[in-house]
Structure formats: C-alpha cells, structure tokens
Structure 1
C-alpha cells in the first residue's frame, strides 16, 4: 500500500508540474509575445538557456537509455528540446502509469528509472563516455557562468527578470526537481541528499554534471548501467527480470 501511495503522489506531482509549465508557456506567449526575439537574448538569458539544455542533455541520456529503441528515443528527445520540462513531466507521468500494481513489490522509482526490456546492459563504454562528456559539459558551464558574471555582472538584478526569463527559470527548476528526485533516491542519507539539492538549486547544471561524474567514478567498468541509477540497496538487490 505504501508503494501504491508513493506512486500516486509521484503521478500527481509531476502531472501538476507539467500543467504548471504548459500554463506558464501559454500565459507568457499571450502576455509577452513570441520568445523568438533577438532582444530577449541578454547575456544571462543565453547562459540560462545553455544551463537549461545541459540539464536536458542529462535527462535525454536517461530517456534514450530508458526507451531502448531509436525511433521513440528521437521522438522524446525532440519534444524535450522543444517543450522542455513540460515534456519531462509528461514522459515521467507516462512511465509511471505503465507501472502496474503487480510490480509494486519494488520501489516505484526503481521501476521508473530502469528500462523496460531485457536487452543486455552496456558496461564499460558508458562509464568512460559519460565521465568524459559530463566532465566537459560541467567545466564549460562553469567557465560560461564565470565569463557572464565578469562581463555582465551578477544575475540578481530586477531588470533581468523579464517574463520570458521568469518562464525559463520555472522551466529550469522543474527539471531540477526531477533530477533532485533521482538524487534523493540515489543518496544513502538525507544530509548528503539535501547538500546536493542545495547545490543543484544554486549552481544548476554544473552540479548536475558534477554529481553524474562523481557517481560514474563510483561505478565499476564491469557494472551495468542501472547501477548508476539506483541506490546501493536497490542495485544489489534487484534481478534483471524484475526490471520490467
């Protein structure tokens, strides 16, 4: 019953966040016009968008892993690029509704995070590639934030908070929330989870990349992909046939 209640809560929360994001986009389009205007691309808006899409790269990586075939993967990744966190929420909710009551002997988040087929898990290559890509993305993002602070000042200015910047920040932090759910699930203590979430809120995709790299450094080349996604209790207590 507890697992079923948790599943319902996740469905409700992500559905509500998705609706909030769609409503925000519609409202901002009506009140402030199209976002495709050159005057909106201030230095901090550009930095925020890049920050946003680095997080989207992390989420898209999970989606590609989760889907298992290229057609559906490309479909969802394109939607993520175009619609941002509204797609993130829609994807998560759709996968949560695929979890049936018969599968609730496991943690619903385990079932959400894992792929739903019996294809063999990749091992060595994903660790090396993941460490490299997310290290580079994290360093580039840190350099970009530093450059923007030096050339355009701090971002905590009222003139920067245009309607589309506000909408972008809401979009950004809904994705941060989704990533934070994984972080809480992955971490073994609440203290470490809270620390990482605070860093995610403050530093965005720099922390996302840093966290992923740290977790990849703890994964052996011989470990399957799902060892990166699950906490220590789940990953050593789960059998391959239980992942569907």
Structure 2
C-alpha cells in the first residue's frame, strides 16, 4: 500500500508539472508570439538552450535504455527534444501507470527507473562510451558558460528575463527536478543529496554530466547496467535475491 501511495504521489506531481509547463508554453506563445525569432537568441538564451538540451540528452539516454524497442524509443526521444519537460512529465506518468508492485517492500522508484522485463543479461557494455560522451558534454557546457560570462557578462540581469527566457528556465528546471528525483534515490544520505541537488540547480547540465560520469566510474564492465540507476542498498538487495524488482508491463515484452 505504501508503494502504491508513493506511485500516486509521483503521478500527481509530474502531471501537475507537465500541465504547468504546457500552460506556460501556450500563454507565452499567445502573449509574446512564436519562439522561432532570431531577435530572441541572446547569448544567455543560447547558453540556456544548450544547457537544456544536454539535460534532455541525459533523460533521453534513460528513455532509450528503458524502452523495449527502437520505435518507441525514437518516438519519445523526438518528443523530448521538441517539447522538453512536457514530454518528460508525460513519459514518467505513462511509465508509472504501467507498473504494479508485487510486494510492500518494493521501492516505486526502482520500478520506474528500471527497464521492463528481465535485465539480468543486459550488461553495461556501453559504460566507456557513456563516460566519454557525458565528459565531453559536461566540458562543452562549462566552456559555453565561461565564454558567455566573458563576452556577455553575468546572467543575473533583469533585461535578460524576457518571456521566452522565463519559459525556457521553467522548462529547464522541471527537467532538473526529474533528474533530482533520481539523484535523491541514488544517494545514501540527505547531506550528499542536498549538495548534489544544489549543484544541479546552480550549474545545471554541468552537474548532470559530472554526476553521471561519477556513477559510470562506480560500475564495472561486468555489472548489469541497472546498477547505474539504483542506490547501493537496492543493488545489494537485488543481488542477494538474485532478481530485479518486478515490473509488469501493460504490453507483451519481446525476448
């Protein structure tokens, strides 16, 4: 019952955030016009968009891992890049509706993060690729921020907060919230959780990439890839039980 109640809370939170972002997008389009205008592309908006899409890349990587076929993966990734946190929230809510707990001890976030079906044979053969890609993305984002500060000054200015900048920031931080849920699940204590979430809020995708790279360096090439997603306690519990948390998909899973 506790797990089912937690799933209900997550559904409500992400549904509300998705609705908030959709309302903001519609309102900004009505009051400020189309976002596809060159005059909107100030240096800091460009930097914010790059920051935003690096985080979208991180979320898309999880979606590709979680989906059981490339058609659904492609569909969701396109939505993520086109609609940002609206698609993130929609995806999370859809996946929450697809899972059912088989025991009161199951963590609902395990059920959310893990891929459908049996993952015991799915090894982390792409760990080194992930380390390289996210190291490059993090370094690129750091360079973009430094360059923008040098050439355009600090971002803490009223003139930068245009309607579309405000909408982009809201979109960005809803995705940060989604990533923060994973970070809070991964970390073993509230001190490290608070530190990482503060870094995510302050440094965005630079922190996202750094955190992912750290997690990838903590798994070996023989470990199942789901070890990157679970916290230490749940990894040990699953290893002792010799199984993964039960995930019952709403459709048949291909072998």
Q: TM-score range by the shorter chain?
A: over 0.9
Q: Does the 8 Å contact 1:182/1:229 carry over to 2?
A: yes
Indicate how the Cα distance of structure 1 residues 217 and 169 shifts in structure 2: closer, same or farther if over 3 A, else same.
Answer: same
Computed over aligned residues only, the root mean square deviation of the Cα atoms, in angstroms, reads 1.2
Give the corresponding residue for 2:109: 109
Give the corresponding residue for 1:79: 79
Q: Does the 8 Å contact 1:115/1:243 carry over to 2?
A: no
CA distance in 1, matches of 2:134, 2:244: 30
Give the corresponding residue for 1:22: 22
Shift of 1:105: 4.0
Give the corresponding residue for 2:10: 10
Q: Which has the higher helix share?
A: 1
Q: Does the 8 Å contact 1:121/1:224 carry over to 2?
A: yes
Q: Does the 8 Å contact 2:185/2:231 carry over to 1?
A: yes
Shift of 1:66: 0.2
Indicate how the Cα distance of structure 1 residues 39 and 104 shifts in structure 2: closer, same or farther if over 3 A, else same.
Answer: farther
CA distance in 1, matches of 2:158, 2:244: 53
User: Unaligned stretches of 5+ in structure 2?
Assistant: 248-255
User: Unaligned stretches of 5+ in structure 1?
Assistant: none
Give the corresponding residue for 1:210: 210
CA distance in 1, matches of 2:151, 2:243: 51
Runs of 4+ in 1 over 3 A off after TM superposition: 101-105, 239-243
Shift of 1:101: 4.4
Shift of 1:5: 1.6
CA distance in 2, matches of 1:240, 1:74: 29
Give the corresponding residue for 1:152: 152
TM-score of the superposed pair, with normalisation by structure 2: 0.93
Q: Does the 8 Å contact 1:139/1:206 carry over to 2?
A: yes
Output aligned runs, 1:45-124, within 5 Å: 45-102=45-102, 105-118=105-118, 120-123=121-124
CA distance in 2, matches of 1:187, 1:101: 23
TM-score of the superposed pair, with normalisation by structure 1: 0.97
Give the corresponding residue for 2:252: none
Further displaced range: 112-121 or 77-86: 112-121
Q: Does the 8 Å contact 1:47/1:144 carry over to 2?
A: yes
Shift of 1:221: 1.4
